[in-house]
Chains A and B, each alone.
Chain A
């Protein structure tokens, strides 16, 4: 039961956080200069976007939930279970970021989900 709450936090807060961060990075714009000084400027600009702070908070929450669940379960189970966020991610990309998710991409995401289900069923 406690593990379920941690998994929900990893998936929910993790996906929510990634979506917020992705939205913030889109606001920052395409990174074309990879020199360290330029990357620091990108980071400074990214931290001025409120979405980035919300995203980092959510991802931090997911991180600590991940640490907690890793004390109880094997990595080879925990990490695949967190891939359940794929469905949430595709939906979020479509409805929250306005990205076009093609039918082919949906099919890929669906396959990934089937794989994740098999991984969970393969629990010893």
Chain B
């Protein structure tokens, strides 16, 4: 019983980290890439030029740092929890992305899109009440 409670605690804690740093990373990447402009990767020279501009952007590096934090939390939680549990649970991240895009990047989020975000969160609530592990530890 105690082991199960602690399993749930560390699962939720790491999912919380994922839900904060994943969306933050995506929004920072979006901000950085918008500033760089439409990608044209027709030739290797163009691709290299784009890559060098990407790597010169501080915003993008911040985004990459956030995503690495997200990724480490994700890896750790996947060492014991089911992928099909973690992936839907982490979809709270979609609400975070909409909020951050709206408030940090001033993106126009339509009412229908907010509704979609709410439905996603509802789906997450349904998913959140299933057990974190269905396969036997090996």
Interface centre among B78, B85, B102, B118, by most A CB within 10 Å? B78
The DSSP consensus for interface residues of chain B is: helix
Tell me the bound Cα distance from A112 to B121 in angstroms: 7
Q: A76–B84 contact, CB under 8 A?
A: no
Q: Which residue of B lies closest to A43 (CB)?
A: B75
Interface size on B, residues (CB 8 A): 64
Additional A-B contact list (14), CB under 8 Å, known A114-B123, A121-B116: A19-B83, A25-B75, A71-B38, A72-B38, A75-B27, A76-B98, A80-B94, A89-B88, A97-B82, A108-B124, A109-B88, A116-B116, A119-B116, A119-B120
- The chain B residues found within 8 Å of chain A, CB to CB, are 23, 26-27, 29-31, 33-34, 36-39, 41, 54, 67, 72, 75-76, 78-80, 82-85, 87-88, 91, 93-94, 97-98, 100-102, 105, 107-130, 134-135, 137-138
